[in-house]
Amino acid sequence: MVIEEITGRIARDLEHLKQFTATPGNGCTRLPFTKEARQAVDYLKELMKDSGLEVSEDAAGNVIGVLKGEDPDAPCVMMGSHYDSVYNGGDYDGIAGVICAIEVARLLKEEGITPKRNFVAVGFCDEEGTRFGTGYFGSGAMLGHRDVEYTKKFSDKDGVSIYDAMKEYGLDPEKVGEAAWEEGKIGSFLEAHIEQGPVLDAENTEIGLVDCIVGIQRYMVTVNGRADHAGTTPMDMRKDAVDAATKVISKIADWAREKADGTVATVGYINTVPGGMNIVAEKVEFTVDIRSRNNDNINDIAARIKKALEREVKEFNGSFEIVNKLTITPVELSEEMLDIMENGCKERGYTYKRMLSGAGHDALEIGQVLPTVMLFVPSKEGRSHCPVEFTKYSDFAKAAVIMQSLAKELLLK
């Protein structure tokens, strides 16, 4: 199969999938357990079926296509990514990795090799966590990390729980535990993804070989003060939640800058209550997202935030709450599989570099427990999580070719 034909097939599939968005003309909004998610899943099932795979949808909404090997009970080679998106995101984040996995299955079939073990292409449900403030739902469920209690615990902006959203969508949340694979059934996991950052594009490098994915901690912080008149309440007699919160917030980026290891910290959301120009705020809510390849850095920044909050609210006898929304440790990816991919790049003359992923991925969840590897292709100007996200279809074809040679080596072992 020549690369132009591979490019053509990937382009056809991704162009078709672009229409499944709740915000046509303004990027991809494909939240989990929605009409758009169902449309994408139905199309992925069709593609998998046409590619000769045995297709199923599991209890967590993951879509699964199996290319049967000689020993279907041997640990499989799994490849995939997610089919959901953020609000007004791009057309490639996640879904391109699902299409690359299906393309690898097509290439394996066309080559006529008889795999010793199953090759499994997967489209994961709800990696982003956009709707329910969580993340890695489908991949976590496959590993047995999600149960019915979890589906009842988290709700979207309209108060709809994962539990109710799943029911409405036609899945039984009581059975979410059934999505878990028996230990030993998944031998290795491969994920192709857009870089979502500027490095490969800026350096004109074709392939990123991801050797580490950062750990992540996410918090929702609430600082409680007291609402008062902005003109009549002297500065030493107020309980100003904004004053206290911003003293902490203003330090967070500097604490991240002090660290190495790709450490970043982001306050992406701030809300003041009641939010009036002439009212001292009684409450401030803000989020913190801290990432690093060194977990000690994340823990240190989280601890400094808590200490600073204690100090600042003490100043006026206020209070605060800090709720942990996500804690996941960094993962080092499989050296053995990285070496195979590096050889594949050398053979084909593709430029490549080893690199860190600052974004979270299904590979972060799965890499906690299984041999895992990731490959990046360039994102134009590093733009992602926005409608202008762009990667050339021919770059996805290169990813599929490199992943196919890795998969082949693993499948024939």
The annotation status of 218 as a binding-site residue, yes or no, is: yes
Between helices 3-17 and 393-411, what is the axis angle to 10°? 110
Residue 94: contacted member of Mn ion, ligand GLV, none (CB under 5 to 8 Å, by partner type): Mn ion
CA atoms within 13 A of residue 88's CA, in its CB half-sphere: 5
In the bound state with ligand GLV, the residue whose beta carbon lies nearer, of 84 and 240, is 84
Residue 344: contacted member of Mn ion, ligand GLV, none (CB under 5 to 8 Å, by partner type): none
Q: Is 396 exposed, middle or buried (CB count within 10 Å of its CB: 0-12, 13-18, 19+)? A: buried
Residue 27: contacted member of ligand GLV, Mn ion, none (CB under 5 to 8 Å, by partner type): none
In the bound state with ligand GLV, the residue whose beta carbon lies nearer, of 194 and 244, is 194
The annotation status of 291 as a binding-site residue, yes or no, is: yes
Distance CA 382, CA 195 (A): 7
Cβ 362 to Mn ion, closest distance in Å?
A: 8
Cβ 292 to ligand GLV, closest distance in Å?
A: 13
Distance CA 391, CA 77 (A): 26
Residue 284: contacted member of ligand GLV, Mn ion, none (CB under 5 to 8 Å, by partner type): none
In the bound state with ligand GLV, the residue whose beta carbon lies nearer, of 250 and 324, is 324
In the bound state with Mn ion, the residue whose beta carbon lies nearer, of 88 and 299, is 88
| Of residues 328, 331, 333, 329, the one with CA closest to residue 374 | 333
Q: Which helix (H) or strand (E) holds 194?
A: strand 186-194
Distance CA 66, CA 99 (A): 14
Binding residue for ligand GLV, selected from 14, 359, 363, 377, defined by CB under 6 A: 359
Q: Which residues inside 114-133 make contact with ligand GLV, applying CB under 6 A?
A: 128
Distance CA 206, CA 276 (A): 51
CB 258 within 8 A of CB 180: no
| Of residues 75, 96, 76, 74, the one with CA closest to residue 85 | 96
In the bound state with ligand GLV, the residue whose beta carbon lies nearer, of 136 and 393, is 136
Distance CA 108, CA 147 (A): 35
Neighbours of 346 (CB within 10 A): 10
In the bound state with ligand GLV, the residue whose beta carbon lies nearer, of 206 and 362, is 362
In the bound state with ligand GLV, the residue whose beta carbon lies nearer, of 246 and 357, is 357
Distance CA 412, CA 410 (A): 6
Q: Is 357 exposed, middle or buried (CB count within 10 Å of its CB: 0-12, 13-18, 19+)? A: buried
Residue whose tokens read 């109710």? 164
Residues contacting Mn ion: total by CB under 5 A: 2
The annotation status of 13 as a binding-site residue, yes or no, is: no
Query: Looking at this protein, which amino acid is placed at residue 290?
Result: I
Distance CA 313, CA 180 (A): 44
Q: Are strands 352-357 and 319-328 parallel, antiparallel or unpaired?
A: unpaired
Under the binding rule (CB under 6 A), the answer on residue 360 touching ligand GLV is yes
Distance CA 48, CA 54 (A): 7
State the binding string over 56-95 for Mn ion (x if CB under 5 A, else -).
-------------------------------------xx-
Between helices 95-111 and 393-411, what is the axis angle to 10°? 50
Q: Which residues inside 93-152 make contact with Mn ion, applying CB under 5 A?
A: 93-94
In the numeric block, which tokens belong to residue 278? Answer: 């002439």
DSSP type of residue 185: S
In the bound state with Mn ion, the residue whose beta carbon lies nearer, of 93 and 365, is 93
In the numeric block, which tokens belong to residue 343? Answer: 């050889």
Cβ 16 to Mn ion, closest distance in Å?
A: 19
In the bound state with ligand GLV, the residue whose beta carbon lies nearer, of 211 and 240, is 211
Residues at the binding site for allantoate are 218, 278, 291
Q: Which residues bind Mn ion (CB under 5 A)?
A: 93-94
Residues at the binding site are 82, 93, 128, 193, 218, 278, 291, 385
Q: Which residues bind ligand GLV (CB under 6 A)?
A: 128, 359-360
Residues at the binding site for Zn(2+) are 82, 93, 128, 193, 385
